Amino acid sequence: MSRTGVRRIVIEVPEDLRIPPRELEERLRIELALRLYEKGIASLGQARRIAGISKWEFLELLAKEDIPIHYGEEELKEDLETAEKLAKKPGNQRWRGPYRPSV
């Protein structure tokens, strides 16, 4: 994560944590992201980027942890940007009314 507006930190953890060493960084990133989101410190988009996973994977983790979803301005903005990108893709048609199955 070396993008503008992102700070890299280093933390020290005990060697005898009950987490396999190869999983340590990923697990700590996910735990941090979940707790920051749960406390309202990070938005859903920020938290999922900290965790290094997709929005849908993060939403699944929230459900598993029984953490309620907070939907704010940043999430709305991200969803609108995604919708605009998808609408501009070749082959995507705009919705034009109620679904009518072909007969």
Distance CA 38, CA 51 (A): 13
41 and 74 Cβ atoms separated by less than 8 Å: no
- Is 17 in a helix, a strand, or coil? coil
Q: What is the pTM of this model?
A: 0.67
* Mean pLDDT value across the chain: 85
Q: Answer for the pair 70, 42: CB distance below 8 angstroms, yes or no.
A: no
The whole-angstrom separation of Cα 101 and Cα 98 is: 10
pLDDT digits (tens, 9 = 90+) for 40-62: 999 888 999 999 999 899 999 99
Q: Report the candidate in 65, 75, 72, 66 with the shortest Cα–Cα distance to residue 31.
A: 65
- What number of other Cβ atoms are within 10 A of residue 50's Cβ? 19
Handedness of CA 16, 18, 21, 23 (dihedral sign): negative
Q: DSSP label at 16?
A: T
Q: Which pLDDT value is given to residue 1?
A: 46
